[in-house]
């Protein structure tokens, strides 16, 4: 899959904002995207949260009478930097353990590092300031 300016989604570098939207890929919404897997509860809850976030993005489009929505690079960077800081302290990253959660560079692109209710709260409503909404 190629995005704007020929950008590629590559598993070894994939990041997303809230696991749902990706800079450079307007109008793309992921379910079970990067860092949304859980090992302690139902993944269905995560999918429901992602659908709610997607619907919230679509409402931003409708309100703005727009046809393109894309997460800003700054919002995606802030989100993923904070996420990876949390994951570096997690059991999968510390203690020298090998884990399938980590890529070849030791980066966890798989798991959500917190409680599912925290993810739910963060994905309930898309923050307009984190998105570029354009068109029409």
- Count how many domains the chain has: 1
For residue 47, being part of any structural domain is answered with yes
Confidence (pLDDT) at 136: 59
The domain that holds 9 is classified in CATH as 3.50.50.60
For residue 64, being part of any structural domain is answered with yes
For residue 84, being part of any structural domain is answered with yes
Q: What is the residue whose two structure tokens read 């798991």?
A: 111
The residue segments making up the domain with residue 21 are 4-123
In the chain (136 residues long), the average pLDDT of successive 10-residue segments reads 84 91 96 92 94 98 95 98 92 77 88 94 96 88
Query: Which residues have C-beta within 8 Å of that of residue 135, sequence separation ≥ 6?
Result: 66, 67, 68
Confidence (pLDDT) at 78: 98
For residue 93, being part of any structural domain is answered with yes
CA 122 to chain centre: 11
Q: What is the residue whose two structure tokens read 């993944």?
A: 43
Confidence (pLDDT) at 27: 96
For residue 134, being part of any structural domain is answered with no
For residue 129, being part of any structural domain is answered with no
pTM of the model: 0.91
For residue 87, being part of any structural domain is answered with yes
């Amino acid at each position: 899959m190629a995005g704007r300016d020929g950008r590629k989604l590559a598993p070894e570098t994939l990041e997303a904002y809230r696991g749902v939207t990706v800079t450079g890929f307007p109008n793309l919404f992921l379910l079970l995207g990067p860092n949304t897997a859980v090992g302690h509860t139902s993944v269905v809850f995560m999918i429901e949260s992602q659908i709610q976030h997607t619907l919230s993005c679509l409402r931003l489009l409708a309100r703005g009478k727009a046809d393109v929505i894309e997460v800003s690079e700054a919002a995606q960077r802030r989100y993923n930097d904070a996420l990876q800081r949390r994951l570096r302290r997690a059991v999968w990253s510390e203690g020298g353990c090998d884990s399938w959660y980590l890529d070849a560079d030791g980066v966890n692109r798989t798991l959500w590092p917190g409680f599912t209710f925290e993810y739910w709260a963060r994905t309930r409503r898309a923050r307009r300031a984190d998105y570029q909404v354009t068109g029409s």
